[in-house]
Every structure is written in structure tokens, then in C-alpha cells.
Structure 1
């Protein structure tokens, strides 16, 4: 189950170098209960990359 992201989280993702498609998929998930298979795939990829970025930042601190 994916946690729902806020716009602040999207900003974090952007500052980490991820693109608008990632953020758009997250917003789509937050704003509607139905999403396309493509959007779900994008959301999974965005979540994985964001988690990797968070892990990387924690390792540096």
C-alpha cells in the first residue's frame, strides 16, 4: 500500500531530481480513487525512486 503524498513531498521529489510525471502520478493517486494501469506503474516507480533518494540522504547525514 502506498502512502499518500502531500505537495511538500512532491517538492522533495523534484529537488531530488525526479520529473513531473512522477509527481503527477502521485497527485493522481491522491486526488482520485481510480487510476490507470500506466499511472499506477508510474506511482510505483516514483515511490521506489523517492525512497531511494531518502535513503541516500539519510546515509549522507
Structure 2
């Protein structure tokens, strides 16, 4: 299991079109504007792809060089 399966990201889209991303109940980042629009378009397909997109946006994902 990966770490994201233990502590998945959660997101909420506001009326203004911002995406609030949280993990373990704490706000991690807010995505606004064109970036938020691109992210919203990628979300909602399935849980695995949602988590991958949220990890990439927050910068919290494996790059292949960690040990």
C-alpha cells in the first residue's frame, strides 16, 4: 500500500471555482483560476486518478528517486 491509501487527499470545489485540497482534516493548498479549472476537469473519474491528480498538484507524489 502506498502512503496515499492510508491518508488520502480530500477536495472541495467552492462556488467561486477554487479547489480546496486537504489531508487528514487539514487544508494543504488552494488552487485558483485556470489551474483550478484544469484540475476540476480531471477530477471525478475514479478515486485512484483523483488521488494522483491531487498528489501532483500539491507536489506530494513519488518521483521515482526516493528510497
> Per residue, is there more strand in 1 or in 2?
2
TM over 0.5: no
Q: TM-score, normalised by structure 1?
A: 0.37
Higher RCO (CA-CA < 8 Å; seq separation 6+): 1
> Per residue, is there more helix in 1 or in 2?
1
